[in-house]
Structure 1
Amino acid sequence: MKGNMQNVNNSSSNITSMSTENQVSAWLLSFCFLLGFPGNIVVVVIIIRYFKKDNFTLHLMLSLAVSDILCLISLPLWIYSLNFEWIFSRGLCKFLFILIFTSMYSSVLTVTLMSVYRYLVVLHRSQWAKLGRKGERVLLCCLWTLALILSSPVMAKANVVVKGQGHHCWRISGLDQESLAILLCEILLGFVLPFSIMASFYFCLHKKVNQTTFFSNPRLARLVTTIILTFVILWFPVHVINLVKVLAIAFKSTNPSVSEKLIGFWNVSSNIVNSLTFLNSCVNPLLYVCTFRLLFQKSEKQDRAGTSTLDSRL
């Protein structure tokens, strides 16, 4: 999961040297920060400055960009910790965990809401119109509140621990039953449920797409497909790793040798896989560029037709 950083600071007992997986993770996180942070800042500026404030699609993209910024802004501290050790306070450790998890859940919820909105505004526009601008703002506030609620349990588990010769900001696992419940909830709420909703609404939309003129532009269809594929490609591996740990816990009493091998695989791969999820924050601005281009083109067509407002049905 995007914020699943419980093992991201898993350095060796000698803090002056780094394992190969930690080196790869540090380079990936550095790349994500250098590319994604300024990219999302530019996205926020463009949306606020150049687009109308009554376009709900742009509000959703703005929500995504803000969640990406909140996540990426913490990366320099994690990179330093990977290279050396955690020298900061326990309070900052807890704060960064809840910041990352909140941004992760808000990102997932926003993408999910975007799929629902796209379906309703194209095929049932009058139903969505009943919500109104005020209702849309309330919906976004509820989205971020829910993200904060879902991420709050991690605050109790995040702590600074001593291992080897260094201090590390980790998420303490606790009892096996507790870890199992947490991991299963993260897999369900962070991937299975939102992906099922997204896939269902996009499938229903594409099923009727040829019956409407709205999706006659093949670039828009490619954008929809890209959003889904990006979500699957960049989020699926970390949930597979979480599932590996679930299996390791399940086999702990019945087959200790298999459990040990699974835990070993998880320890080696979790750093790199968790780092890869931050690439989603780098890819999002590229997807926004495609959307902005379509919005500008649509606005120009409407201007030529004498229309004064920008259609928000994207």
Structure 2
Amino acid sequence: INTSNFSKTHNIAPEEYGTGTAVACVILGLSFLIGVPGNLFVIWTILRSMKRRSHTVMLILHLAVADTVVLITLPLWIYSMAHTWEFGEGTCKALVYFISTCMYSSIFFITLMSVERFVAISHPFVMLRWGNKSFMNRFLLFLWLLAFSMGTPAILTQSLNETDGVTQCFFREFSSDTQAIIIVCLETVAGFVLPLIILSICSCHVSMKIKKLSFNSKPKSVVLVHAVVIAFILCWLPHHIINIIDVVCLLISDTEHEYVPEYLVFSSGALVFISSSVNPMLYAFFAKNFRGSLEGSRLVRLFQEMTTYTNKLRDLAVQQQSEQGPSTQEEFISDSTC
């Protein structure tokens, strides 16, 4: 099997330098210059200015940490693309593993933002019962452990490749076509398809529920959450489309050849890194009209609005369920104990 066909998000270089390499270098360079300071500023703002952190703020904090870890490795990949990999196979496997883990965790945190709003408006009594800090911390720990387990295939398959005297850490070596198909399909389903389905269901359900509650206000924080989700889809979709094409071609063809041009594989892989750098720009854009002398105070106002809006939706849902009678409350409370 031609392992270059299954380049993952961190497999950001083809065997030969060309258009794809140049485009990827530009994308990765901009992602690093914009994303690292932006995410660090978000982390600093939350830790310094928000002593009481809601679930939404905690998700934003963990999302910024995961994105920062991904982005700080970019100089090594850019240097490797321009020269050669000089850091050994162990470092190669370790870096790729941590990148995979943090990218999975970012996806999980984005998905959980929508799930939390869904639970707040659809099962408000469950939210009241289980919406405490300790429960959220345990759930965040679970998501991190899940992400670490999902990144394990990177350790098993990542390897160094030498071509014309140049060593690169951009190849995945599978023991068989079956192993390649299983791993790539699992990563596509768990890392994109399932989160996308969950995001779509939660968003649609919340929108319909808001209409029933006659809650017409739509603050910037709602548009921000939608923008984060749209950015996630746009950045990841090309990469997973290429993966699906490779799997389909591998299933119907017994010959080894490049199913997708290298420059497309390379560019789509680099595009994924934008998803780790775009969120701070979205926060800054939606916070610019808030009053405040400093950017940090505007971000705090934005994050507080996100929390307030979710709480208002939950309170309205609680009020609606209370008006329906005690039996409804008991039903929701019993659901929370299952």
Equivalent position of 1:84 in the other structure:
83
| Cα displacement string for residues 169-198 of structure 1 (whole angstroms, at most 9, x for unaligned residues) | 122233111111111111100111111011
Alignment partner, residue 106 of structure 1: 105
Aligned pair in 2 of structure 1 residues 158, 79: CA closer, same or farther (>3 Å)?
same
1:40-92 Cα deviation digits (max 9, x unpaired): 00000011111233311000001110110010011000000111111111111
Inter-partner Cα distance in structure 2 for 1:298 and 1:158: 39
Contact 1:2-1:278 within 8 A present in 2 as well: no
**Farther off after superposition, 46-55 or 201-210:** 46-55
Does 1:270 pair with 2:265?
Answer: yes
C-alpha separation between the residues in 2 aligned to 1:205 and 1:233?
22
Aligned to 2:196: 195
Q: Within the alignment, does 1:49 sit opposite 2:48 as a pair?
A: yes
Letter paired with 1:104: M
- Compute the TM-score of the two structures, normalised by the length of structure 1: 0.86
Q: Distance in 2 between matches of 1:156 and 1:265?
A: 24
Give the equivalent residue in structure 2 for 1:250: 251
Structure 2 residue runs of 5 or longer lacking an equivalent are 1-5, 288-296, 312-338
Return the offset for 1:19.
Answer: 1.5
Q: CA deviation at 1:266?
A: 4.2
> Does the C-alpha gap of structure 1 residues 252 and 168 become closer, same or farther in structure 2, counting only changes over 3 Å?
same
Residue 167 (1) aligns with residue 167 (2): yes
Between the two proteins, the alignment pairs up a number of residues equal to: 293
Q: Please, which of 8, 14, 18 is the counterpart of residue 10 of structure 1? A: 14
- 1:210 touches 1:216 (CA, 8 Å); kept in 2? no
Q: Amino acid of the residue matched to residue 198 of structure 1?
A: L
Q: Is the 8 A contact 1:183 1:242 kept in 2?
A: yes
Query: What is the CA–CA distance in structure 1 between the aligned matches of 2:187 and 2:106, rounded to whole Å?
Result: 14
Q: Confirm or deny: 8 A CA contact 2:56 2:113 kept in the other structure.
A: yes
Letter in 2 for 1:296: R
In the alignment, is the contact (CA less than 8 A) between 1:10 and 1:168 conserved in 2?
no
Distance in 2 (alpha carbons) for counterparts of 1:298 and 1:59: 10
- AA of the residue aligned to 1:313: T
Verify the 8 A CA contact 1:244 1:266 in the aligned structure 2.
no
Matches within 5 A, 1:82-231: 82-131=81-130, 132-169=132-169, 170-212=171-213, 216-231=217-232
Corresponding position of 1:303: none
Question: What is the CA deviation profile of residues 276-296 of structure 1, one whole-angstrom value per residue up to 9, with x for unaligned ones?
Answer: 111111211123333785862
Does the 8 Å CA contact 1:3/1:97 hold for their aligned counterparts? no
Q: Give, in whole Å, the separation in 2 of the partners of 1:294 and 1:267.
A: 40
Tell me how far apart the structure 1 counterparts of residues 247 and 270 of structure 2 sit (CA, whole Å). 20
Aligned to 2:73: 74
8 Å CA contact retained: 1:2, 1:235: no
Question: Is the 8 Å Cα contact of residues 39 and 64 (structure 2) preserved in structure 1?
Answer: yes
The question of whether the paired residues in 2 share the 8 Å contact of 1:2 and 1:104 is answered with: no
Same amino acid, percent of matched pairs: 30
Corresponding residue number in structure 1 for 2:310? 313
Contact conserved, 1:2 with 1:277, CA < 8 A, in 2? no
1:203: how far off? 0.5
Please, which of 276, 287, 305 is the counterpart of residue 281 of structure 1? 276
* Counterpart amino acid of residue 278 in structure 1: F
What SS class does the counterpart of residue 24 from structure 1 fall into?
A: helix
C-alpha change, 1:99 and 1:3, in structure 2 (3 Å) is farther
- Tell me, yes or no, if the aligned pair for 2:108 and 2:143 is still in contact at 8 Å: yes
Structure 1: segments with no counterpart, 5+ residues: 13-17, 301-309
Cα 1:195–1:297, aligned 2, differ >3 Å: closer, same or farther?
closer
Structure 2 residue identity aligned to 1:281: S
The alpha carbon displacement at 1:211 in A equals 3.2
Larger relative contact order (Cα-Cα within 8 Å, sequence gap ≥ 6)? 2
8 Å CA contact 1:21–1:272 kept in 2: the answer is: yes
> 2:236 maps to which residue?
235
